[in-house]
C-alpha cells in the first residue's frame, strides 16, 4: 500500500474536466485507487467519476491518495503529480 497526501491547487477545485482526467489515469493502473478528503474523512473509489465528484474537492482541500496492488507506487506518484500540476489549469 502506498499513501500520498496532496492539496488541490485549482482555483475552481476538482470539477468535471480535471476529475475526468484523474479517473481516466487512475483506471489505467491495475491497483485499487482510493481518494480521501482529509477535511471530512470521506474516502471513495478514484476510478468512479461520480464518486470522486461527491467529495466536493475545492481549492485548498488536502486529499490522501491510497493505492494497493501491482503498480501501486507508480499509480500513487503519477496521480499525486497530476494534482500538484493543477491539471494544466494553474
Report the alpha-carbon distance of residue 67 to residue 78 in Å, rounded. Answer: 11
User: Is residue 15 flagged as an active site residue?
Assistant: yes
Annotated catalytic residue within 3, 9, 13, 15: 15
Element (H, E) at 44: strand 42-45
Alpha helix stretches (DSSP H) within the chain: 16-27, 49-53, 72-84
Q: 3-state class of 17 per DSSP? A: helix
Enumerate the active-site residues.
15
Amino acid at each position: 500500500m502506498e499513501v500520498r497526501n496532496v492539496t488541490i491547487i485549482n482555483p475552481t477545485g476538482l470539477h468535471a474536466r480535471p476529475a475526468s482526467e484523474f479517473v481516466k489515469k487512475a483506471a489505467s493502473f491495475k491497483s485499487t485507487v482510493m481518494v480521501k478528503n482529509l477535511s471530512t474523512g470521506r474516502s471513495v473509489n478514484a476510478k468512479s467519476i461520480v464518486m470522486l465528484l461527491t467529495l466536493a474537492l475545492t481549492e485548498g482541500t488536502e486529499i490522501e491518495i491510497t493505492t494497493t496492488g501491482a503498480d501501486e507506487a507508480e499509480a500513487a506518484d503519477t496521480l499525486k503529480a497530476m494534482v500538484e500540476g493543477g491539471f494544466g489549469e494553474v
